[in-house]
Structure 1
């Protein structure tokens, strides 16, 4: 490829002069009369973001755990209780998985509420113990 000299056009010179005179203000907008928003503190923004994330999870209809891996784990638990000849239908596994996920989601929401009450965003092990004690699960 052959190199060519770059020639400064008249238009680019005019643009450079105009930007020197006017700075980086930009053009006046038609919506420049709108009032300025009140700036929220970062503390408020953290709590609203955490709550929004916990509210966003129930809107999705898909399962959180994979169906086959949950079914495999359920079979192992059933066999450990001595039900080696026990057979379970697939809709029963789905119902069991739905109930398990609902319990886990509620547990995580309670952990988040405990962390927010302590003015933290991160869930600590003491939050987990507190939720289990309040639910009657003990500290074990």
Structure 2
């Protein structure tokens, strides 16, 4: 999982140069009439919740798609099926594009880490989780997690 996280971090860094990403982030933020970063995270979460449905990679296969690939598919079809890695990378890139510091949270219901979701550092240094795949509201940490580790996404 650590090797995958390093690749994910590099993918997010590369995505930050994408005009397509910045255009999408601007469109999402344009609907927020507040300076509260939580409101901007909620807007990103609403967009992702509407545009991305969960689809696991085949067992034993790790297939990563870039944020730009996902955005292109969303713009062509209105939505995309993606796994938690893809969703976390797109979310982290959007979080950075709206001016917040993105993180990856890796978690598992056992000691084995099997799920990754995005988070953002906001006012006062608090890390705010955004587990769209699980349908949790922005700011709510998943329950029943035996282990979770937080990594910088860029």
TM (norm. structure 1) is 0.29
Looking at CA atoms only, which structure, 1 or 2, has the larger radius of gyration? 1
* Greater per-residue helix proportion: 1
* Greater per-residue strand proportion: 2
